[in-house]
Chain A
């Protein structure tokens, strides 16, 4: 029986959970635990805190699952819950918080996902992310992780962060520039040693 469900889409599983087949929620947790955990680890560093945050995210997803529209994709919906939970956690800890409002969401900007060479860009940036992510402010860090590590689209990131699609593009572009700068500085430093 479970074998069949393994092949079903996230949205089908969510529909089943909504209809009362609650044990299938475990499958949703299994599918997203690693991804959401990796996302959370970039903001919360204490292992126990990460565990608590993950637990809270999936509990909230279960409690609110009937608000999910199964005609849409499940991943942005779960990531949105994770984003909100991380904002709350960081605020409680009074850490450098994820912004609630930013001026860059106000003005229109011309930027589309097609402007970048996805394959080359992903390979280059993934290399930099491992060493330079700490150099980024949370508002740049978040879309960068979602785009390069979790491989979500601009549209999905826009849905998760509830910011304009063009702002997602601009933030990712700036993050790439900042990381490139930090990467080069670090390389120069290493060569000088």
Chain B
């Protein structure tokens, strides 16, 4: 049809295009599939968000970061520097993406965004805490360390118990003449040197105690400046203890005060 023959009226013009098959209705299945993709996408986002939030909580607990505020300002500084920021940024990105997805629903966009943001954040935190209560991450970390977790293994080994900057967390397994040795959550053995630079130290340390140490690493030795005994059930929430933790039964004996 040339331009001269085209109808001038808009409804006639559209009717003519419909008649000629130039425009076609999308089938209902198309919209159902679109909604299904949206819901699947939201479900995946929810699972990944809950996984990451619970993993962050687990790794914070696992690494002993939660106990750093006990050391006052220097501890807080190390805590801020050692937080798994990459994972935290990932969670923030997921929360924003979840908000974008949720905005497709009228019950979300009809309310101020603050409400939906808060709802997503509260759900992510509560869900993450609930998942952290289970032995899920501890089991996966154990599998990763035993080489039985092929895909997520490197992620768990690397991020599962992150190292802190100038702070060390572990369980005492041997008393030495210069101090003591600890087993870290990363399964490393560290030699803690208690000397003139050690300003503060709890007096009742024994084999099997969990300790947090501030100090500098020189080769394989840690020159401790502060040593604090920590209760693993103390802090944010009790959870599964880190694997391979030695107990007093494994290392009988008592710690001599230096």
Using a CB–CB cutoff of 8 Å, the interface residues on chain A facing chain B are 18, 22-23, 25-27, 29-30, 33, 51, 54-55, 58-59, 62-67, 105-109, 158-159, 162-167
Of A54, A62, A63, A109, chain B has the most CB atoms within 10 Å of the CB of A62
Flag if A109 contacts B112 (CB, 8 Å). Answer: yes
- Complex: A55 Cα to B113 Cα, angstroms: 34
User: How many pairs, one residue from A and one from B, have CB atoms within 8 Å of each other in the complex?
Assistant: 77
Chain B positions 100-141 with a Cβ under 8 Å from a chain A Cβ: 103, 106, 109-115
Q: Which residue of B lies closest to A167 (CB)?
A: B112
Flag if B112 contacts A26 (CB, 8 Å). Answer: no
Asked whether any CB of chain A lies closer than 8 Å to the CB of B37, the reply is no
Flag if B23 contacts A55 (CB, 8 Å). Answer: no
Interface size on B, residues (CB 8 A): 25
A22-B18, A63-B26, A66-B27 known; A58-B109 Cβ under 8 A: no
Asked whether any CB of chain A lies closer than 8 Å to the CB of B31, the reply is yes
Of B10, B12, B27, B28, chain A has the most CB atoms within 10 Å of the CB of B10
Q: What chain B residues lie within 8 Å of A163 (beta carbons)?
A: 109
CB distance from B81 to the nearest CB of A (A): 31
- Complex: A145 Cα to B28 Cα, angstroms: 33
Q: Which residue of A lies closest to B112 (CB)?
A: A108
Flag if B15 contacts A158 (CB, 8 Å). Answer: no
CB distance from B183 to the nearest CB of A (A): 48
CB distance from B131 to the nearest CB of A (A): 29
- Complex: A24 Cα to B106 Cα, angstroms: 28
Q: What chain A residues lie within 8 Å of B23 (beta carbons)?
A: 59, 62-63
Q: Which residue of B lies closest to A159 (CB)?
A: B106
Asked whether any CB of chain A lies closer than 8 Å to the CB of B25, the reply is yes
Asked whether any CB of chain A lies closer than 8 Å to the CB of B11, the reply is yes
CB distance from A52 to the nearest CB of B (A): 11
Using a CB–CB cutoff of 8 Å, the interface residues on chain B facing chain A are 10-15, 17-18, 23-28, 30-31, 103, 106, 109-115
Flag if A58 contacts B113 (CB, 8 Å). Answer: no
Q: What chain A residues lie within 8 Å of B14 (beta carbons)?
A: 25-26, 29, 55, 58-59, 62
CB distance from A148 to the nearest CB of B (A): 21
Flag if A66 contacts B25 (CB, 8 Å). Answer: yes
Q: Which residue of A lies closest to B30 (CB)?
A: A66
Q: What chain A residues lie within 8 Å of B25 (beta carbons)?
A: 18, 22, 62-63, 65-66
A62-B18, A62-B25, A63-B24 known; A107-B11 Cβ under 8 A: no
Q: List 28 A-B contacts (CB under 8 A).
A: A18-B25, A25-B14, A26-B14, A26-B15, A29-B11, A51-B10, A55-B13, A59-B17, A62-B14, A62-B23, A63-B24, A64-B31, A66-B25, A66-B26, A66-B27, A66-B28, A67-B31, A105-B112, A107-B112, A107-B114, A108-B114, A109-B112, A162-B106, A163-B109, A164-B110, A164-B111, A164-B113, A167-B112
Flag if B31 contacts A66 (CB, 8 Å). Answer: yes
Q: Which residue of B lies closest to A54 (CB)?
A: B10
Q: What chain B residues lie within 8 Å of A107 (beta carbons)?
A: 112, 114
Flag if B26 contacts A162 (CB, 8 Å). Answer: no
Q: What chain B residues lie within 8 Å of A162 (beta carbons)?
A: 103, 106, 109
